Structure 1
Amino acid sequence: MWKLGILVAVAAFLETVSATSLGVVYTEGGMVDGENIRLGLFRHMDIFKGVPFADIPGRFEKPKRHPGWDGVMKTKEYRKRCMQVNMLMSDTRGSEDCLYLNIWIPHGRAVSSGLPVMVWIYGGGFLAGGSMGANFMDNYLYNGKEIADRGNVIVVTLGYRVGTLGFLSTGESDLPGNYGLWDQQAAIAWVNRNIRGFGGDPENVTIFGESAGGASVSFQTLTPHNKGLFKRAISQSGVALCPWAVNKNPRRFTEEVAIKVNCPTDQNMAACLKMTDPAVLTLAGSLSLSSSPDHPLVYNLALSPVIDGDFLPDDPSKLFHNAADIDYIAGVNDMDGHLFTGLDVLTINSPLVDTPIEDVKRLLAAYTKDKGKAGADNAYSTYTLNWSSNPSKATIKKTVVEIGTDFIFLVPTQAALYLHAANAKTGRTYSYLFSEPSRMGGIARPYPSWMGADHADDLQYVFGKPFSTPLGYWPRHRDLSGYIIAYWTNFAKTGDPNKGDLSVPTTWPKFTNTGHQFVEIHHNMNRDYVRQKMRTRYVHFWTSILPNLPVLGSE
């Protein structure tokens, strides 16, 4: 028995002596020193937090390279997130000094080199969000540790400007907008130039993101400014074609902000806004959360990217040739629209209160408003085709969620996949539907029992929360998280989610313009979860029937 004790002690001693670590890393700006943690026998991880990828940005200017520093910068603490409104939109948090990134590097018996790199872009409606430490109490959602460790990849998370400081635009050269997208692009370029020093392969970078982050990933594949900087991309619940992703008339909102902060709305507006206190500017860009079936919440998202002739030289639908050599995964959650429609039509979450059919008609009329009565009538007949003469309460409520999911997320994502596949040269295309029911649904919970996967429900599984906080989950949630990490990291390594170091529950076929195949991601996956033609009738309505109806005149 004592011999075993000695052996264990010797093994532990050797393990600490030979702890694998990069130590101090030299970057273009100077040297950085992170922390090293032990994951298990002969597995360690280096974590660098708050590494600058650009200088403190000038107000409404593109980011510039960091001037560098002397000595060794300690990178063991998260920096502040970019300045933004708080949850209640009553105050601001964060800082203008926010262009930093965080890096997780796993090591086995030897220090890693040539690892695939995955760069995460967070969501938050282009208004909020951050990847700098705890989002809620002590829970840091975007911790790269589980993906990096389980998938043997480097994970990078970054900060980018949001809200007025990130996306305010006059639509002219005096305030062109898209500063947040330029920040993301500067971080991707920094990774490309510096990641080799951290054990990464600059020739094998994947960008991935969710919601506004998924749309951002899509924009980064479509801009001509990223040629050769990354190889693959994953958009979760958001693409550049979403109705909230591009603001076609940015000046209107900018004038509203100007009036709130006592700036003129003439040719001096941009100059005045640049001199306004950043916290005051940020608060002035708060969005209204009040909505109704006639004025859906999605139309309030006014701070978003713009077609500026530079980052986005044209409408996103015309830029897919720029993504011809990028491998691409895109998908949605089966009830992504619930977060929005639950605010537009409050009754859908009340099991005891009926949702009036009139509310279904009002929501469809709002989504098809350019086409007037013909659009609304066509939409209503499309969504009620399978209803009985006396539809149940749950049927009506679920239909509201389906309408929101289709319009805000699913149909634009299918259109983006179609355009990616149609323009692809070497780039492969993959489609998914995430359908694990929300953990908020069912008995004595705030959501109805029929609830599927809500917006952002996928994030906890992508980032391995069932492994890092096991008490909050069932074994099936760990299965699901393992499947997603396997698909995502295999894809990052090889461009094929089925091929890599991790086994997957079923083969995920490519999306082609003839087959339209996709996998449904769920804890109980098998070959029956490979499907095709996602919600074809509804995709056809929004992409073919509705656009061909005459536009309303001046009614």
Structure 2
Amino acid sequence: METTSGHLRGVATDSGRQFLGIPYAEPPVGELRWMPPEPVDNPDADVNAARPGSPCPQTQPVPGDHPEPSEDCLTLNVTTPRQNSSDTALPVMVWWHGGGYTSGAGSSYDPQRLADRGNVMVVTANYRLGVLGYLGLPGMEGGGNFGLADQIESLRWVRDNAPAFGGDPDNVTVFGESAGAMSACAALTSPASDGLLDRAVLASGSCMLNWPDGALYPGVPAQTPYSSVADNQSTSVAAAEQLGCAGADAANCLRRLPTDRLMAVNQNFSNQLTYGTDLLPQNPADVLRGGDQQQIPVITGGNHDEQRSFVGGLLAATPDAVTAATYPQLVATAFGDRAPEVLTRYPLQRFGSPGLAWSTVTTDAAWACPTLDGARLMSNRAPAYLYEFADETAPNVNQITTIPQGAAHATDIPYYFDLTGTNMLHTPRQHEISDEMIDYWTSFAHDGTPRIEGGVEIPRVDKNTTHALQFGTDATGIEDFAAAHQCDFWLHEG
């Protein structure tokens, strides 16, 4: 396989072909640490593409069979069906993984089922994470945006190399979950991505997400998926000082530190994708409000019980963080003057536990209704479609047992990927939902219209939309999303 990255020697399986660990940018090490990515242009190299590349440095173990994390991590993986079921070039779907901008690897997501059933080429990419991906010291070229710059560079690589794999460089769908979807939404507002993508699927990651004080975790200030330059620089300077690097030479000082020293501040850079920069001139939320994003058709949505994974993890570490006694104070901290009405709308006695009550409040306020708002705003520029994943029997991918997980954050991922090479679905309905999601997503990748022959038609979103396509435990249908999440309350002040 001839590419700009070299001669690739991949892996053929019974169902398809995979080319793993392909370098798409020069290793961001040494003087290239905290520099914008430099594209690989080494067509004469001999590349063994039979094994994933190293994950980018992070503090938690990366699930699956990977090499050790390394800063030499800007690689991607290409999966195609063995037999292209048409004579035309394959649509390309580029996956940007989640993990709060601080963890994850593209190679943890095996997309062979998606490629085969949908007849698409799938690319899963690594990008710089945490302090290495989002540090932004004053005067640092590209500061705060190295992870997004890597993701956009992966699209340039796809543009230049998709034909070698049978893919269509003029039909590229970016899809991502959580931080990957937040990045994809930001890319819709970046001048640098213009012409590099044609469609987007945003799972649990709208530009409009907005966590009030203490809603993401108690004690964590209000935040969105994006940071201003001023806030990012403040975080970055404090992190540098913590590592013993201050003043005009801070960047050079940090470049001399070993990777493991940097990990001490890695988690400080969650939600630090930075706007007010050349790559991301404005807050993506403001771009959507102004209707100035690219005219890219979008599928956007999320999970019915998003926040249960976060609250469940909190309760595993601090069992008394959410109790009948603390619930009113959590609500008061997050919602201020509106707290009495929130408590009336979400009374403890309506839920099985305080943890479920707080999960529901924060899911509705910070995830579901902002996602609806974003869908309505995006529909002003191009076709937009809204969905909700709501299978209460979804695999407990987060391995949380403190509260029932239901359709918690990230539980949808096994429906279109094998995680670390394992199909985690077991029931007939789970497999049915998987087929449906793959069919909707890949038909959208083919021609911009999500559909299943003989299946439920997804209505296009408009400024008054209240309903969404819901993948439910018992059936798939159109449900009143706004009513279920009390969005008339959350999307209106007062």
2:303 matched to which residue of 1?
A: 333
1:66 aligns with 2:66: no
Preserved CA contact (<8 Å) 2:5 2:41? yes
Measure how far apart 1:477 and its partner are. Answer: 1.1
1:437 matched to which residue of 2?
A: 392
Measure how far apart 1:131 and its partner are. Answer: 1.6
d(CA) in 2 for partners of 1:179 and 1:465?
Answer: 26
Preserved CA contact (<8 Å) 1:49 1:103? yes
d(CA) in 2 for partners of 1:345 and 1:26?
Answer: 51
Instruction: State the SS of the aligned residue for 1:255.
Output: helix
Preserved CA contact (<8 Å) 1:440 1:447? no
1:18 matched to which residue of 2?
A: none
Measure how far apart 1:479 and its partner are. Answer: 0.9
Give matches, 1:130-209, under 5 Å.
130-132=105-107, 140=108, 142-170=109-137, 172-173=139-140, 176-209=143-176
- Judging changes above 3 Å, is the alpha-carbon distance between structure 1 residues 252 and 415 closer, same or farther for their aligned structure 2 residues? same
Amino acid at match of 1:208: F
2:98 matched to which residue of 1?
A: 123
Amino acid at match of 1:524: D
d(CA) in 2 for partners of 1:228 and 1:354?
Answer: 47
After superposition, the CA RMSD in angstroms is 3.0
Measure how far apart 1:393 and its partner are. Answer: 5.5
- Judging changes above 3 Å, is the alpha-carbon distance between structure 1 residues 115 and 174 closer, same or farther for their aligned structure 2 residues? closer
Query: 1:33-59 deviations in whole A, cap 9, x for unaligned?
Result: 2122223xxxxx221111111111211
1:257 matched to which residue of 2?
A: 239
Give matches, 1:14-163, under 5 Å.
25-39=1-15, 45-57=16-28, 58-87=32-61, 94-108=69-83, 113-132=88-107, 140=108, 142-163=109-130
Preserved CA contact (<8 Å) 1:120 1:158? yes
d(CA) in 1 for partners of 2:423 and 2:485?
Answer: 40
- After superposing the two structures, state which structure 1 stretch, 354-363 or 68-77, moved more: 354-363
Give matches, 1:346-495, under 5 Å.
356-368=323-335, 376-385=336-345, 387=347, 391=349, 394=352, 396-422=354-380, 424=381, 427-439=382-394, 446-448=401-403, 451-463=405-417, 469=423, 473-495=426-448
Give the TM-score taking structure 2 as reference length: 0.86
Kindly indicate whether structure 1 or structure 2 has the higher relative contact order, using CA contacts under 8 Å at least 6 residues apart.
2
d(CA) in 2 for partners of 1:171 and 1:399?
Answer: 42
Amino acid at match of 1:328: V
Preserved CA contact (<8 Å) 1:49 1:101? yes
Query: 1:122-170 deviations in whole A, cap 9, x for unaligned?
Result: 00000110023xxxxxxx4x10100001111111101100010001123
Measure how far apart 1:402 and its partner are. Answer: 1.2
Amino acid at match of 1:273: L
Structure 1 or 2, whichever has the larger Rg, is 1
d(CA) in 1 for partners of 2:362 and 2:342?
Answer: 14
Preserved CA contact (<8 Å) 2:414 2:423? no
1:530 matched to which residue of 2?
A: 478
Measure how far apart 1:415 and its partner are. Answer: 2.2
Measure how far apart 1:331 and its partner are. Answer: 0.7
Give the TM-score taking structure 1 as reference length: 0.77
Instruction: State the SS of the aligned residue for 1:510.
Output: coil
1:295 matched to which residue of 2?
A: none
Amino acid at match of 1:261: L
Query: 1:267-319 deviations in whole A, cap 9, x for unaligned?
Result: 333332233222211233235xxxxxxxxxxxxx6452011421110121232
1:509 matched to which residue of 2?
A: 459
d(CA) in 1 for partners of 2:9 and 2:466?
Answer: 47
Instruction: State the SS of the aligned residue for 1:186.
Output: helix
- Judging changes above 3 Å, is the alpha-carbon distance between structure 1 residues 504 and 245 closer, same or farther for their aligned structure 2 residues? farther
2:190 matched to which residue of 1?
A: 223
Amino acid at match of 2:171: N
d(CA) in 1 for partners of 2:43 and 2:170?
Answer: 27
Measure how far apart 1:465 and its partner are. Answer: 6.8
Preserved CA contact (<8 Å) 1:417 1:429? yes
* Count of matched residue pairs: 468
d(CA) in 2 for partners of 1:127 and 1:145?
Answer: 26
d(CA) in 2 for partners of 1:467 and 1:27?
Answer: 26
Preserved CA contact (<8 Å) 1:82 1:95? yes
d(CA) in 2 for partners of 1:110 and 1:476?
Answer: 26
d(CA) in 2 for partners of 1:157 and 1:311?
Answer: 22
Preserved CA contact (<8 Å) 2:331 2:342? no
Query: 1:504-538 deviations in whole A, cap 9, x for unaligned?
Result: 63111111112333111125324xx2124524874
d(CA) in 1 for partners of 2:84 and 2:124?
Answer: 25
d(CA) in 2 for partners of 1:268 and 1:532?
Answer: 56
Instruction: State the SS of the aligned residue for 2:19.
Output: strand
Structure 1 spans left out of the alignment, 5+ residues? 1-24, 40-44, 133-139, 288-300, 369-375, 547-555
d(CA) in 1 for partners of 2:92 and 2:36?
Answer: 25
Amino acid at match of 1:116: P
Measure how far apart 1:542 and its partner are. Answer: 3.8
Preserved CA contact (<8 Å) 1:221 1:322? no
1:275 matched to which residue of 2?
A: 256
Measure how far apart 1:64 and its partner are. Answer: 0.6
Preserved CA contact (<8 Å) 1:46 1:106? yes
Amino acid at match of 1:37: T
d(CA) in 2 for partners of 1:156 and 1:219?
Answer: 19
Which of 217, 227, 231 aligns to 1:247? It is 227
